[in-house]
Amino acid sequence: MALQFAFPSTAGARRRPESRSIIRPVRCADDRQALFNRIAPVYDNLNDLFSLGMHRVWKRMAVSWSGVKEGDTVLDVCCGSGDLAFLLSEKVGISGKVIALDFSKEQLQIAAARQSEQSKACYKNIEWIEGDAVNLPFSRSSFDAATIGYGLRNIVDRRKAMEEMYKVLKPGSKVSILDFNKSTSSLNSSVQDWMIDYIVVPIASGYTLADEYQYLKSSIKEYLTGKELEQLAGEVGFYVAKFYEIGAGLMGNLVATR
Ligand SMILES: C[S@@+](CC[C@H](N)C(=O)[O-])C[C@H]1O[C@@H](n2cnc3c(N)ncnc32)[C@H](O)[C@@H]1O
């Protein structure tokens, strides 16, 4: 079902009345859905700030690794406010189609508002779908390529999400999975921890979102290493899976071919 949204008010972050010092454990899908709804108003600006704009480069790399071509029908899972979907639509052009799915209504509202502010014709063929990555509402073998940016780490049942992506991809097509790298290098993980503790969380606390961004650290610790991601993709049925470290090893991208 395509979502039709009115323009949301994105003027300023929605502030909660008081800052909380207790870190609420984020354990289940419902917690995560609420978390992504809460951070939606500031998510894009904070991404630019924390990565000094580099997330845009990594997302371009992820899209290019997906092997997307003009005229393709492609899927972006966990689309958030739409960065990867917009990049994909530039690749598929006006003869292609982008389906972008997320379970956060607020992220989707921002994505739809961004779409209506843009004049590029190709952006018109993005359809926003509210749905769950572990239960994709599409037929088997419907997509020529898929992406998922900073999404898989946040999904409780990652194997199911991988199975779902495998199911909806056409044979021979690829999924490109961009996320933080759960590095096996203690230097890399110390740098990630330091950046989260001393840059990300203090800035996020200015928006009363300290807990939400503190979750980043535990989510990386609970994520999979590049080797584990390759292994999971193989177990699910992808016949080639290759993990690339990018961003000085702080980020990683798995490319899996069905
Ligand atoms: C960190 S954001 C990434 C957004 C976007 N892909 C980007 O790279 O900017 C993660 C997104 O995944 C979505 N998400 C997490 N778990 C999900 C699930 N099970 N089904 C659908 N969306 C999910 C969240 O709502 C959120 O918008």
pLDDT at 41: 87
Distance 241 CA to ligand 1 centre (A): 22
- Token pair 């997320």 is at which residue? 102
Q: Is the CB of 84 under 6 A from ligand 1?
A: yes
pLDDT confidence of residue 28: 61
pLDDT recorded at residue 32 = 85
pLDDT tens digit sequence for 104-150: 999 999 999 999 998 888 888 999 999 999 999 999 999 999 999 99
Determine whether the shortest distance from the Cβ of 80 to ligand 1 is under 6 A. Answer: yes
Identify the three-state secondary structure at position 256: strand
Q: Which residues of the chain have pLDDT under 50?
A: 1-26
The pLDDT, as a whole number, for residue 20 is 32
- For residue 156, the ligand 1 atom closest to its alpha carbon is 19
CATH architecture of 29-180+224-257: 3-Layer(aba) Sandwich (3.40)
Q: Which residues of 142-170 are buried (b: 16+ CB within 10 A; e: fewer)?
A: ebbbbbbbbbbbbbeebebbbbbbbbbbe
Q: Can you give the residue ranges of every domain in the chain?
A: 29-180+224-257
Cβ of 213 less than 6 Å from ligand 1: no
Residue 23 is predicted with a pLDDT of 38
Q: Is 68 a pocket residue for ligand 1 (Cβ < 6 Å)? A: no
**What is the structure's pLDDT at 17?**
32
pLDDT in the model for residue 211: 86
Q: CB within 8 A of 1, min separation 6: which ones?
A: 129, 130
Size of the chain in residues: 258
Question: What's the confidence (pLDDT) of residue 14?
Answer: 37
- Of ligand 1's listed atoms, the one at least distance from the Cα of 36 is 25
Give the number of the atom of ligand 1 that is nearest the alpha carbon of residue 47.
9
Counting from 1 in the atom list of ligand 1, the atom nearest the Cα of 148 is: 6
